[in-house]
Amino acid sequence: MNERELRGLIDRVKLGRMSRRGFVRRMAAVGLTAPLAAQLLAYSGVAMAQSKSTYKPTKRGGGGQLKVLWWQGATLLNPHFAVGTKDQDGSRLFYEPLAAWDPDGNLKPKLAAEIPSRENGGLAADGKSVTWKLKQGVTWHDGKPFTADDVVFNWEYAKDPATAAYTIASYKDVTVEKVDQYTVTVKFQKPTPFWADAFIGARGMLIPKHLFADYIGAKSRDAPTNLKPVGTGPYMFKDFKPGDLVTGVINPNYHQANKPYFDSVEMKGGGDAVSAARAVLQTGEFDFAWNMQVEDEILTRLEKGGKGRVAITPGGNIEFLLFNQTDPWTEVDGERSSLKTKHPTLSDPEVRKAIALLVDNKSIQDHIYGRTGPATRNYLYGPERFASKANPIEFNIDKANDILEKAGWKKGSDGIRAKDGKKLKFVYQTSINQPRQKTQAIIKQAAQKAGIDIELKSVTASVFFSSDVANPDTYTKFYTDLEMYTTTMGQPDPGTHCLQFASWEAASKDNKWQGRNITRWQSPEADKLLRDAEVELDPVKRAAIFIKLNDLAIQNHIVMGIVQRPTVSAKSLQLNADISGWDNNTSDLSDWFKDA
Amino acid sequence: MIPSLLGISVVLFALLALAPGDPFDELATNPAVPPEVRAALRAKFGLDDPIWMRYWHWLAALLQGDWGFSFVSRMDVSTLIMQRLPVTLIVIGASQFLAIAIALPVGVLAATRPYSLFDQIANTVAFIGFSLPTFFTGLVLILIFSIQLDWLPFVYRADINATGWAFYWEHIKQSIMPVTVLGLFQGAALVRFVRSSVLDVIRLDYVTTARSKGIGERKVITRHVVRTALIPVVTLVALQMPIVFSGAIVTEQIFRVPGIGSLLITSMLSNDTPVVMGVTFVSACLVVIFNLIADILYGWLDPRIAYR
Amino acid sequence: MAGSTPASLTADAPAETSAARKARRFSPWQEAWRRFRRHKMALVSAFALLVIVFAVLAGPFIWPVPINEIDFTAKLQGPSVSHPMGTDDLGQDLLARLIYGGRISLAVGVAAMVVAIFVGVLIGAIAGMASGAVDAALMWVTDLFLSLPQLPLLLLVIYLFREPVKGVLGIEGGAFVLIVAVIGGTRWMPAARLVRAQFLSIREKEFVEAARALGASRLRLVLMHILPNAMGPVIVVATIDIAAAIIAESTLSFLGLGFPSDVPTWGSVLRDAKDYLDIAPHWALFPGALIFITVLAINFIGDGLRDALDPRRVL
């Protein structure tokens, strides 16, 4: 899909010939996130849709206790220090951002009075500032009013490197000014088409100035409020045991009428995903469980318990396979997989093409992930029916054999193909996780039939995903031929996500393997696209660039998608809870309720 | 004892410092967090200092009663441990107590009537107890008592909003399965030990002598046999006692018991070294103390033992 | 039956007259075998264990189904003619996997037990005989090993040794050596403390005094007089260790230390099966039963051996 086609689609939405939702889906198919698609529309003058409210209760409270299960419990409750989603989800019980992402990628106001747009004057024409109107009459849990000063303070707090806030990236390159008591302006250094980052969603939760003002910078760790949150959210803090329990009670002064529905909330941590699913789906001990990384086969059986159902929300996470472009078995200047080397066999595009044909995405979906992992070949992906025709899923052992045969890889007496004395033997690593090991087994078996020998290696997740410079088993070192993991699209904008393909980002000893290009692919063509995207201000053109980049990487078999990893949760049958793939699980907690 | 503990603490500290992993890993893999933040954090928590210096800081702080500060939760290690301690003591302590209370008499009885029906049953149960892993027995109990029969909850909740008898009843109900699983596992080994050492002693000459003197069988068993046979049992119990503090990782995980075992494993997985160091050092102290107690008990059980 | 209560009722065979016994002379080993034979459970167990060992060694020839043949059309099937123990969720044949896994599990269990018991008995015996500074030092080492947190230790071992050992011994050989070393190296402490405690008590007993007075060397004293009497608890530890090692092996695989994930072992098959316990109980039943039967058999053999080798037993 090129720029012209993109514009054509946007026009169809403008004229009402295509639904917003249809457009968002179409964009997802070519690898753009829903929030980015919504931004494209907003930029082209199609106002953001109002999130529809399905909230039914007509009075505050009365819903009893809401019991939710996170099999990894929250370990801290200051949203600026929240590392994983578990911590953000826990903080979200008490803290709120100005606006949250809804499942369709639209912004939903929380502490903002309205979403900025061209029409209401919130967005500057030059794209260099956004003005937010704050909701009036909101109070913190301790009764102090919420004002523009609090918003400005959060920016000062997070951007200070000495505070060491994990949210720093959203704040360090902007300036925030107070216009009046209930208005703030966020200013960008250069025109920024994607403005919806600071104060929004998971990294936008706001903490009160009056309790944190003395703990900015190096003293940040000593703030007593780090452990006893005081926010504006639907529930007020009651108790916190890291890794085990977060409890809250209803906020009687919550700023939205008739909300929240539940009188108290209990977020229990620990255990494993399967038993969490049991507690919701089979026994009904709990109302909601997070992140059901469980084989669909089991989930389906558990759903027969009749107490709950599985909810699947699309997001941007993808399980994918990486082909090492460098030689992991030769050490050069103290590092393996050095840029100075070339992979002895995988550098042959025909070999990569053959391996791609040996990945049975369909069976992996059907027999392992089921509903929780729709098959895809894209790196940036979307729902199947809109999937880019450019990257179809093809599994064909005969064809793979053919390709290898033609390329001169002949089977030896051991059944393994070789050429010039180099055998097609690969080591394939991933983290330890049941579905991953099964995926490995499926790929290994197909490869065997094509004369490729694969040795499976699995590394415990805490090592695999670590940044330990001394450890050879981390995913960024990539000291094997193939590897597989899930990459999370932390931000709706694919900018950082696509640095995977930038030659200057190649992970190496020099950058302590912090580079984002894990395969070490060196492609002038990809580099040019990325450079173009950096300076491109027109979001439509920029979107077209990313679409092209995705196709380039997939068709060259540098990476390949295996399955999508949508957000999967378990809900009791009575619970109404909207989960957004672009924001925290608990982002809409104020609107959760149970059918009577 | 102090120098021995100091030595252990040095080794523990070095092990944790050398083991792979970095507490701020997740930052490195998060594209949104620039490297400066990680550098600032490492500096703030003193991770860039050489190991001996970090050890010195740790020891100096410990002597002032400061157990350190968790990287991950950003709170005092002592607070974290104290939050988990009561549940651990209750649940693991109860299972340990049950294991001893049941295994001792069962083992003695089984040994006095070897290969009787009672002995066979006791042995079979014991074999099941230690040949099946707790992750498996725990799951079987959950499937039977929570899912099929719906009698017992399988998610342990430290925070129960009930008062009076209901409060205690809820606590007992949710403790039954974890206590059973652990008790079975620990008791199983104990039964075998008691049985074996009583069998060893029961055929020694002095027992026969006692019998031939016309002392009643019951008295022979309790006075003469069990006392000597207790030496290996005391050894084993002393070895098991520290887990009353350090918790049982697998069982806690299955039933979501917020004990120290689950704190330890999550801290290990997130490389939260101060917490791991705190917990392992306390259990190291307990190991040393209980083994010392065992040594003292040997002398009491068999007065001829002298530590020359 | 002077001076002894039989440990075994089944062994309580019709007493031969002492005259008859004197007439027939047996070597000590023949004597032991004769006693062992009378121990029915031990005999049955020895037979069962032999069958299992034979099956895992010769099984691949009798049941030549590949261990990793994926067949989605046959997944999670119960026992049938084509799959006597059913299949797992990838449709792989469980009988073939358990036969293959049995070799690893049995080898790991026995080897790790031998390492743990050897180290434990050695350290315990030295500490128990030496007393004083040597005893204190060895017990310090024991306490230290009891205190070491397992997970960081394992990760450190993987990090330091996995690649070099794999380089020397190959993938499965390397995994085997590492696993045995790790399990043996972290499980010898109970044996050491038990043996030491037994030594402390036994070395003061009259018969040891007597042997000492007769001028027996220290080594002879230990090997001939003290150790045999200290073995009761050691045999129990040994049998428990075999079970524990079979289970621990699967935990280690789970941490990435063990065999590659596509190599089945009894422990790892049981672990994989646990989430499917209510859907496909056969999957967990067979590995669980195999571990149980093995442990049971080894325990009864242990009991039988003890009765057979007990120097005080006079039949």
Provide the chain C residues 37-56 that lie in CB contact (below 8 A) with chain B. Answer: 41
Residues of chain B contacting residue C271, judged by C-beta atoms under 8 Å apart? 135
Q: How do residues B200-219 score in pLDDT, each as one tens digit?
A: 777 776 777 777 777 777 77
DSSP-assigned beta bridge partners for residue A378: none
User: By CA distance, what is C159's nearest residue in B?
Assistant: B20
B222: pLDDT strictly greater than 80? no
Question: Are the CB atoms for C305 and C117 separated by under 8 Å?
Answer: no
Contacts of B303 (CB under 8 A, 6+ apart): none
DSSP bridge partners of A268: A69, A245
Pinpoint the alpha helices (H) of A139-295: 148-159, 168-171, 209-212, 273-277
Q: What is the pLDDT of residue A382?
A: 42
Q: What does the mean pLDDT of chain B come to? A: 83
pLDDT of residue A48: 65
Question: What's the pLDDT score for residue A572?
Answer: 94
Least confident of A401-410, B259-268, C16-25, C142-151: C16-25
Find the closest chain B residue to C230 by CA distance: B200
According to the model, what pLDDT value does residue A51 have? 65
**Per residue in C192-219, is it b (16+ CB within 10 Å) or e — as a string?**
bbbbbbbbbbbbebeebeebeeeebeee
- Using a CB-CB cut-off of 8 Å, the residues of chain B touching C270 are 133, 136
The interface residues of chain A toward chain B in range 140-169, judged by CB-CB distance below 8 A, are: 161-162, 164-169
Contact B114 C198 (CB under 8 A): no
Mean pLDDT of A203-230: 90
- From chain A, the residues in CB contact with B34 under 8 A are 168-169, 172
| Side chain identity at residue B141, one-letter code | L
Q: What is the DSSP string of chain C?
A: -TT---S-STT-PPPPPHHHHHHS---HHHHHHHHHHT-HHHHHHHHHHHHHHHHHHHHHHHS---TT---GGGTT--S-SSSTT-B-TT--BHHHHHHHHHHHHHHHHHHHHHHHHHHHHHHHHHHHHH-HHHHHHHHHHHHHHHHS-HHHHHHHHHHHHHHHHHHHHHHHHHHHHHHHHHHHHHH-HHHHHHHHHHHHHHTTSHHHHHHHHTT--HHHIIIIIIHHHHHHHHHHHHHHHHHHHHHHHHHHHHTTSSS-TTS--HHHHHHHHGGGTTT-HHHHHHHHHHHHHHHHHHHHHHHHHHHHH-TT---
Q: Are A28 and A314 in contact (CB under 8 A)?
A: yes
**pLDDT, tens digit, 9 for 90 and up, residues B157-200:** 877 777 778 888 888 888 899 999 989 888 988 898 888 888 87
CA distance A68 to chain B (A): 12
Which of C70, C171, C275 minimises the CB distance to A274?
C275
The answer to whether the Cβ–Cβ distance between B124 and C291 falls below 8 Å is no
Give yes or no for C105 touching B (CB within 8 A).
no
Whether the CB-CB separation of A211 and A199 falls below 8 Å is answered with no
In a 3-state reduction of DSSP, which class is residue A333? coil
CA distance A296 to chain B (A): 19
What span, in angstroms and rounded, lies between the C-alpha atoms of A267 and C96? 44
CA dist., res. A93 & res. A586, Å (int) = 7
* Residue C163 in contact with partner chain A when CB distance is under 8 A: yes
**C-beta atoms of B132 and C288 within 8 A:** yes
- Residue C274 pLDDT > 90: no
Give B-chain residues touching C240 at CB under 8 angstroms.
130, 189, 192
> Searching chain A, which residue's CA lies closest to the CA of residue C274?
A274
DSSP for B64-119 reads TT---B-TTT-SBHHHHHHHHHHHHHHHHHHHHHHHHHHHHHHHHHHHHSTTSHHH
pLDDT surpasses 50 at C112:
yes
Q: Tell whether A363 is within 8 A of chain C (Cβ).
A: yes
Band (pLDDT 50/70/90 cuts) for residue A491 is: low
Centre a 10 Å sphere on the Cβ of residue B56 and count the other Cβ atoms it contains: 13
Is the pLDDT higher at A590 or at B18?
A590
Compute the nearest-CA separation of A18 from chain C (Å). Answer: 41
pLDDT of A249 > 90? The answer is yes
Structure tokens, C221 = 């004293």
A457 and C CB contact within 8 Å: yes
User: CB–CB of C68/C260 below 8 Å?
Assistant: no
Residue C68 pLDDT grade (very low, low, confident, very high; cuts 50, 70, 90): confident
* Chain C CA closest to residue B186: C240
- Spatial distance between the Cα atoms of B172 and B162, rounded to a whole number of angstroms: 13
Give the mean pLDDT of chain A.
87
Whether the CB of A433 is below 8 Å from some CB of chain B: the reply is no
Point out the least confidently predicted range of A210-214, A303-307, B279-283, C8-12. C8-12
Alpha-carbon span C38 to A229, nearest angstrom: 72
Tell me which amino acid residue A448 is: Q
Closest residue of chain A to B143, computed from CA coordinates: A278
Q: For strand A410-411 and strand A417-419, is the pairing parallel, antiparallel, or unpaired?
A: antiparallel
- Nearest residue in B to C300, CA atom: B123
Has residue A370 got a pLDDT over 50? yes
CB-closest option in B34, B72, B258 to A245: B258
- Residue by residue, DSSP assigns A439-475 as HHHHHHHHHHHTT-EEEEEEE-HHHHT---TT-TTST
Q: Percent of chain C at pLDDT above 90? A: 16
Contact predicate A391/A438, CB 8 Å: no
Q: Tell me what pLDDT residue A345 has.
A: 92
CA distance between the termini of chain B: 18
Nearest beta carbon to residue C260 from set A274, A367, A457: A457
Q: What is the pLDDT of residue C12?
A: 40
Least confident of A455-459, A566-570, C213-217: C213-217
Alpha-carbon distance of B138 to B251, in angstroms, equals 7
Say whether B140 and C277 touch across the interface (CB within 8 A): yes
Lowest mean pLDDT segment, chosen from A18-32, A69-83, C38-52, C201-215? A18-32
In a 10 Å sphere around its CB, with 0-12 CB exposed, 13-18 middle and 19+ buried, how is residue C234 labelled?
Answer: buried
- Nearest CA to CA, how far is C65 from chain A (Å)? 15
pLDDT at A185 over 90: yes
Domain borders along chain C are 31-55+94-308
Please report the pLDDT score of residue C310 as a whole number: 65
Tokens of B84: 């988990």
Over residues A527-541, mean pLDDT: 82
| pLDDT the model gives residue C69 | 80
Cα A386 from Cα A376, distance rounded (Å) = 11
The mean pLDDT value for B265-289 works out to 88
Asked whether C232 and C250 are in contact (CB, 8 A), the reply is no
Closest CA to B74 of C128, A79, A534: A79
Please tell me the distance from the alpha carbon of residue C76 to that of residue C58, in angstroms, as a whole number: 26
d(CA A373, CA A388): 18
pLDDT of C275 reads 85
Q: How far apart are CA C68 and CA C94, in angstroms?
A: 10
Dihedrals φ, ψ of A224, to 5°? Answer: -60, -30
Residue A172 pLDDT grade (very low, low, confident, very high; cuts 50, 70, 90)? confident
Percent of chain A surpassing pLDDT 70: 95
Alpha helices by DSSP H, listed for A263-407, are 273-277, 296-303, 349-357, 361-364, 397-406
Best of B127, B249, B267, B271 to substitute, by most chain C Cβ atoms within 10 angstroms, is: B127
* Residue (of A371, A320, A372, A290) closest to A84 by Cα position: A290
At residue C32 the predicted structure's pLDDT band, cuts being 50, 70 and 90, is confident
Which pLDDT score is estimated for A326? 94
Which of C72, C260, C276 lies at the smallest CB-CB distance from A298?
Answer: C276
- pLDDT of A328-368, one tens digit each? 999 888 889 999 999 999 999 999 999 999 999 888 988 88
Neighbours of A254 (CB within 10 A): 22
Query: What does the alpha-carbon distance between residue A449 and residue A398 come to, in Å, rounded to a whole number?
Result: 9
CB contact under 8 A, C299 and B197: no
Chain A residues within an 8 Å CB radius of B258: 241, 243-245, 270
Residue A259: closest CA among A53, A50, A52, A55: A55
Would you state the pLDDT for residue C124?
A: 92
Residue C81 neighbours by CB under 8 Å, 6+ apart:
none
Instruction: Please tell me the distance from the alpha carbon of residue A470 to that of residue B19, in angstroms, as a whole number.
Output: 10
* CA dist., res. B268 & res. B262, Å (int): 10
> What letter represents residue A594's amino acid?
K
Task: Give the pLDDT score at B199.
Answer: 81
**Per-residue pLDDT, A473:** 86
* Nearest-CB residue to B26 (from A73, A83, A283): A83
Q: Using the CB atoms, write b or e for B162-199: b if 16+ within 10 Å.
A: eeeeeeeeebeebbebbbbbbbbbbbbbbbbbbbbbbb
DSSP symbol at A315: -
Chains with at least 3 CB pairs less than 8 angstroms from chain B: A, C
Name the residue with higher pLDDT: C112 or C24: C112
What SS3 class is residue A428?
strand
Rounded distance between C-alpha atoms, residue A484 and residue A458, angstroms: 10
pLDDT of residue A391: 66
Closest-CA distance, C1 to chain B, in angstroms, reads: 11
Q: Which residues of C touch A460 (CB under 8 A)?
A: 155, 254-256
Beta carbons within 8 Å of C133's beta carbon, 6+ residues apart: none
Please check the confidence at residue C13 and state whether its pLDDT lies above 60. no
Window A:26-65, CB contacts with B under 8 Å:
65
Residue A515 to residues A494, A521, A582, C210, Cα–Cα distance (Å)? 16, 12, 25, 75
The residue in chain A having the minimum alpha-carbon distance to the alpha carbon of residue B71 is: A221
User: Which residues lie below 8 Å from residue A115, measured CB to CB, with a gap of 6+?
Assistant: A48, A99, A107, A108, A109, A122
> pLDDT class for C315, splitting at 50, 70, 90?
very low
Give the separation between CA B138 and CA B155, rounded to whole angstroms: 12
Q: C243 vs chain B: nearest CA distance in angstroms?
A: 5
Residue of higher predicted confidence among B31 and A451: A451
| Contact residues, C window 183-242, toward A, CB-based 8 Å cutoff | none
pLDDT over threshold 80, residue B102? yes
Provide, rounded to the nearest whole percent, the portion of chain B with pLDDT above 70.
94
Which one of B74, B249, B270, B279 would you mutate to disrupt binding with A, by most A Cβ within 10 Å of its Cβ? Answer: B74
pLDDT tens digits, one per residue of A373-382: 888 777 654 4
Tokens 């070395």 correspond to C203
As given in the structure block, the two tokens for residue C223 are 């090997």
Structure tokens at B6: 């100091």
| For range A151-167, the mean pLDDT | 89
Cβ of residue A511 closer than 8 Å to a chain B Cβ: no
Give me the pLDDT at residue A49, please: 65
A1 confidence band (pLDDT: 50, 70, 90) = low
User: What is residue A145's predicted lDDT score, i.e. its pLDDT?
Assistant: 95
Report which residue type is found at C64. Answer: P
Nearest C-alpha in C relative to B232: C194
**Average pLDDT of the residues in C222-241:** 82
| b/e per residue A2-36 (b: at least 16 CB within 10 A) | ebeebbebbeebeeeebebeebbbbbbbbbbbbbb
- Banded pLDDT at B299 (limits 50, 70, 90): confident
Q: Does the beta-carbon distance from A363 to C72 stay under 8 Å?
A: yes
CB spacing of B131 vs C296 below 8 angstroms: yes
Question: What per-residue confidence (pLDDT) applies to A488?
Answer: 74
Distances (CA, A) of A173 to A190, A491, A496, A533, A537: 10, 16, 15, 19, 17
Both structure tokens of B114:
């070897």
Question: Please, what sign has the CA dihedral across residues B185, B187, B188, B193?
Answer: positive
Closest partner residue to B232 (CB to CB) among C4, C197, C296 is C197
Least confident of A198-202, A456-460, A569-573, B28-32: B28-32
Question: What is the reported pLDDT for A179?
Answer: 93
Please give the backbone phi and psi of residue A553, each rounded to the nearest 5 degrees, phi first: -70, -40
Q: Which CATH superfamily is domain C31-55+94-308 in?
A: MetI-like (1.10.3720.10)
- B217: how many CB neighbours lie within 10 A of its CB? 11
Instruction: Determine contact, residues B263/B275, Cβ cutoff 8 Å.
Output: yes
Mean pLDDT of A186-209: 87
